[in-house]
Chain A
Amino acid sequence: MKATCIECYFEFEVDDDVMLGEIIECPDCGTELEVIEINDKEGEVVLQKAESEEEDWGE
């Protein structure tokens, strides 16, 4: 599957079993990206910048 970083526009490959909501780090600029759409037909995934940590995040 092909992906493009929305920050630096670097194009890279991701695993075919990638899932919606999965967090991927751009191999070029290191931005954390979230998978928001998987387009099997085109062999592409759509990414957006991952949500940043909020005050109430934790585990």
Chain B
Amino acid sequence: MICNKLSWEEKSILDAAKRKNVKVNIILNRTYFVNLEEDNVSTDIILQRSLSYVRGLYTTAILENFGHHVINSYRTSEICGNKLLTTLTLLKEGIPTPKTYCAFTKESALKALDELGYPAVIKPIIGSWGRLIALLKDQDVAKAILEDRETMGNIFQKVYYLQEYIVKRARDMKEYLRRDKAPRDMRVFVIGDEVVAAMNRHEMEGDWRSSATRGARSVSCDITPEMEELALKAAKAVNGEILGIDLIEDEELMVQEINHVSGFHALANSTGRDIGGRIVDYIITQIKG
């Protein structure tokens, strides 16, 4: 298992592996180095759990080149770690996803936003945990945010990924408990060809984002046939093995994002499912297969 550190998820996988008599070697990506002509990792299979997208992506590329089976693959990681590539893949496969525009300068981004309409959301194509995602309520806000992005050193911040803002009808627990409308932001966890758990996410008051890392409240939910079908279709589109798929509902259920190194602490807590154990079970089948 490759990781940045042993977070709750990694410890849960290690505990499960111990229970199932599976030996796990931990490679901390911070300490990893390799002669690119000589494999220095000996193992049956590799689980990629790097929090760092760049370190994860390239360690996967290197290890796949040596012939290792890495979960998830380089191509899956490349697509899922990049929102633009994810959207393109979903569209190509005819999977519903929020309407999205892409532009490369402030001026063209403003024109794109005129077409898309306000409010809209700007997201970095690479990045997670709701970092640097901004709600563009009107053109003035958009101009200010785009000017900020133009001064940022990171070249990826200058790829303007602009998405329609899906207004959630049930924005908090109070509204949810009234049951007039179902909450519409869900995390669905897929292992192999099975959906193993799902939860609704309710953003905290004062934050429109519903990432668990941002303090969103997680509540277990039933896996409807519609959710299952969509999540499995999305997993197949990116050829993923272990994924956290974010669904959002507007007129129809859509795929918002696919996470290739998905956290599952909040999901395990809210559903009571042994997700670490399910991951280890799946890995065993892949070794035997």
Contact = CB atoms under 8 A, between A and B. Distances in A.
B7 interface: yes
B261 A59 contact: yes
Nearest to A58: B128
A21 B262 contact: no
Interface string B1-28: 0011111011100100000000000101
B129 A19 contact: no
Given A19-B6, A51-B4, A57 B28 contact: no
Interface string A16-39: 000111110000000000100000
B5 A50 contact: yes
Nearest to A56: B53
A19 B25 CA distance: 11
B183 interface: no
Nearest to A23: B5
Interface residues of A, number: 14
A22 B6 contact: yes
A54 interface: yes
Nearest to B57: A56
A42 interface: no
B96 to A, nearest CB: 24
Contact of B3 (A21, A50, A58): A21
A55 interface: yes
B240 interface: no
Contacts of A55: 127, 131, 154
